[in-house]
Amino acid sequence: MTAITTHSSLEPLAVLAARVGATLRERRQTVAVAESSAGGLVSAALLAIPGASAFFLGGAVVYSRRAGKALLGLVPEDMNGMRAETEPYARFIAARIRDSHRATWGICESGAAGPSGSPYGDAPGHVCVAVAGSGSGPGGGMVTASRTVETGDTDRPANMEVFARQLLQLFDETLRAPEAGAGAGINPV
């Protein structure tokens, strides 16, 4: 788990999005985005890049169970042994949105922006971010990465920004890892 303040040294959202977009465009890869507490900030940052249609296939704000059913076709059986705002859930949703859009990569964040905690007992400022995609190196295969972040802050807009930056930071790290997944805390499956 990573503890981070909302005034962290993370790069600005636009800088992260531009770097991710350039990498995707250069590799001719695509991404689909599932957000909850970031409320669409990740999709907006990626879509603000000129030429985003070359790599951005779509996004969804999956803020409730009803949205999960409507936007991702989730059924109760999908959630067996899992709950929102956990790394397994974020990895599952990242893979689900990747598959539903036939994208190279799927990315997801699931958290509690505040000012109060979540119905699951997570404190405000808690988020799990995840990436799921295809390895581009000689081994190929499925690549997943995830992390949990706790800001310790109840400031909803500030947490939303940190959540979006954390997701794009993890995605950028994953894209830059050898073979897009071997090492650096990235789990090739």
CATH number reported for the structural domain that contains residue 99 in this entry: 3.90.950.20
For the chain, the domain total comes to 1
Could you tell me how many residues make up the chain? 189
Give me the residue label for tokens 């788990």: 1
Single pTM value for the model:
0.89
Range of the domain at 99: 1-7+31-46+91-114+122-189
Taking the CA atoms of the chain, what radius of gyration do you get in angstroms?
A: 15
Amino acid at 145: A
The 8-class DSSP code of residue 51 comes to: T
pLDDT one digit per residue (tens) for the chain, 189 residues: 666 555 556 789 999 999 999 999 999 999 999 999 999 999 999 999 999 999 999 999 999 999 999 999 999 999 999 999 999 999 999 999 999 999 999 999 999 999 999 999 999 999 999 999 986 555 567 899 999 999 999 999 999 999 999 999 999 999 999 756 333 344 443
- Whether residue 148 is contained in a domain is answered as yes
Q: How many CB atoms lie within 10 A of CB 75?
A: 9
